Amino acid sequence: MLPNSLKDTIQSHYRELLESRKLTPRYGQRLMIAEIARTLGVLCDDERAEDEPAPICVIEAGTGTGKTLAYLLATLPIAQELGLKVIVSTATIALQEQVLLKDIPELQRGADLQFSVALAKGRGRYLCLSRLDSLMQGSDSAQAMMDLYGEDLDDSGAGNPALYDKMLKALAAGDWQGDRDEWPEPLSESDWRPLTVDNAQCSGAKCSHFRNCYFYQARDSLAKADCIVTNHDLVLSDLALGGGVILPSPEDSIYVFDEAHHLPLKSNNHFSAFTRLRASIRWLERCDLIMQRLHDDELIDATERDRVLKLQLQLRDDLAHTLTTIEQIIEALESPDSYDSRVQHTFTGGVIPEALQVQAMELAQRFMRLTAQLELITDGVKAELDEARDSTRQQEIEQWVALLGSVNKRAGGNQQLWSTFAASDMQDKAPMARWLSYNEEDTSQDVALAASPVLAAESLQSHLWQTCAGAVLTSATLSALGRFDMLTMRAGLPQQTHYIAIPSPFDFAKAAKLVIPKLHCEPSNSAEHTAAMIRAVPRMLAKDSAALMLFSSRRQMQDVLEGLTDEWRDLVLCQDDYQKAQLLKFHRQRVDRGEGSIIFGLASLAEGIDLPGKYCTHVLIAKIPFAVPNDPIEMTLANWIEQQGQNAFMTLAVPDAAFRLVQASGRLLRNEKDTGQITLFDERIVSKRYGKQILDSLPPYTREVFTVDMSK
Taking 60 as the threshold, does the pLDDT of residue 151 lie above it?
A: no
Closest to 653 measured CA to CA, from 599, 616, 693, 614: 693
| Adjacent-strand bridge partners of 501 | 60
At residue 24, the pLDDT reads: 85
Burial class of residue 427 (count of CB atoms within 10 Å of its CB; 0-12, 13-18, 19+): exposed
At residue 142, the pLDDT reads: 52
Which position has the higher pLDDT, 123 or 146? 123
**Residue 637, Cβ neighbours under 10 Å: how many?**
23
> How does pLDDT run across 341-362, given as a tens digit for each residue?
678 999 999 999 999 999 999 9
Buried b (16+ CB within 10 A) or exposed e, 267-277: bbebbbbebbb
Judged by average pLDDT, the poorest of 242-246, 294-298, 525-529, 707-711 is 707-711
Closest to 34 measured CA to CA, from 11, 54, 56: 11
Length of the chain: 712
In the DSSP assignment, the letter for residue 513 is E
At residue 389, the pLDDT reads: 79
- DSSP, collapsed to helix, strand or coil, labels residue 222 as helix
Residue 701: C-alpha distances to residues 135, 618, 634, 657, 671 (Å): 59, 13, 31, 18, 15
Pick the CATH number of 4-116+225-267+457-502 from 3.40.50.300, 1.10.8.590, 3.40.50.9100, 3.40.50.1700: 3.40.50.300
At residue 673, the pLDDT reads: 92
Helix (H) or strand (E) holding 449: strand 447-453
Note whether 452 and 264 are within 8 A (CB): no
SS3 track for 12-45: HHHHHHHHHHCCCCCHHHHHHHHHHHHHHHHHHC
Taking 70 as the threshold, does the pLDDT of residue 145 lie above it?
A: no
CA–CA separation, 172 vs 82, rounded Å? 41
CA–CA separation, 517 vs 253, rounded Å? 50
Residue 139: C-alpha distances to residues 166, 195, 400, 584 (Å): 20, 15, 10, 43
**pTM score:** 0.90
Helix (H) or strand (E) holding 453: strand 447-453
At residue 518, the pLDDT reads: 94
At residue 442, the pLDDT reads: 62
Q: CA triplet 149, 152, 154: central angle to 5 degrees?
A: 85
Tell me the H-state helices in 352-433: 354-384, 391-422
- As a whole-number percent, the residues of the chain with pLDDT over 70 amount to 96
**Residue 308, Cβ neighbours under 10 Å: how many?**
24
Residue 323: C-alpha distances to residues 12, 278, 326, 446 (Å): 67, 8, 5, 10
CA–CA separation, 180 vs 126, rounded Å? 6
**Domain ranges in the chain with CATH number 3.40.50.300:** 4-116+225-267+457-502, 508-709
Tell me the H-state helices in 423-484: 457-460
> How does pLDDT run across 373-426, given as a tens digit for each residue?
999 999 999 998 888 778 888 888 888 998 899 999 999 999 999 999 999 999
At residue 302, the pLDDT reads: 95
C-alpha count within 13 angstroms, C-beta hemisphere, residue 281: 14
Average pLDDT score, the chain:
91
Note whether 443 and 389 are within 8 A (CB): no
In the DSSP assignment, the letter for residue 480 is B
> How does pLDDT run across 609-656, given as a tens digit for each residue?
889 999 999 999 999 999 888 889 999 999 999 999 999 999 999 999
- Straight-line distance from the first to the last Cα atom of the chain, in angstroms, rounded to the nearest whole number: 64
Judged by average pLDDT, the poorest of 171-185, 390-404, 464-478 is 390-404
CA–CA separation, 154 vs 156, rounded Å? 5
Please, what sign has the CA dihedral across residues 532, 534, 539, 544?
positive
Closest to 137 measured CA to CA, from 170, 159, 155: 159
Residue 198 CA, distance from chain mean position: 18
Q: CA triplet 133, 138, 144: central angle to 5 degrees?
A: 110
- DSSP, collapsed to helix, strand or coil, labels residue 674 as coil
The CATH superfamily holding the domain 508-709 is: P-loop containing nucleotide triphosphate hydrolases (3.40.50.300)
Taking 90 as the threshold, does the pLDDT of residue 135 lie above it?
A: no
Rg (CA), the chain: 28
Residue 514 CA, distance from chain mean position: 31
Q: CA triplet 446, 448, 451: central angle to 5 degrees?
A: 175
Closest to 323 measured CA to CA, from 281, 286, 273, 287: 281
**Residue 588, Cβ neighbours under 10 Å: how many?**
15
> How does pLDDT run across 479-509, given as a tens digit for each residue?
999 999 999 999 999 999 999 999 999 999 9
Residue 683 CA, distance from chain mean position: 33
Note whether 68 and 51 are within 8 A (CB): no
**Residue 132, Cβ neighbours under 10 Å: how many?**
21
Buried b (16+ CB within 10 A) or exposed e, 439-478: eeeeeeebbbbbbbbbbbbebbeebbbebbbbbbbbbbbb
Average pLDDT of the segment spanning 419-444: 87
**Residue 220, Cβ neighbours under 10 Å: how many?**
11
Average pLDDT of the segment spanning 328-347: 82
At residue 154, the pLDDT reads: 38
Within 55-181, strands assigned E span 56-61, 85-90, 117-119
Residue 414 CA, distance from chain mean position: 22
- DSSP, collapsed to helix, strand or coil, labels residue 57 as strand
Average pLDDT of the segment spanning 557-579: 95
Burial class of residue 632 (count of CB atoms within 10 Å of its CB; 0-12, 13-18, 19+): buried
Note whether 87 and 230 are within 8 A (CB): yes
CA–CA separation, 606 vs 23, rounded Å? 31
CA–CA separation, 300 vs 563, rounded Å? 65
At residue 167, the pLDDT reads: 94
CA–CA separation, 574 vs 571, rounded Å? 10
At residue 443, the pLDDT reads: 52
Helix (H) or strand (E) holding 448: strand 447-453
> How does pLDDT run across 665-674, given as a tens digit for each residue?
999 999 889 9
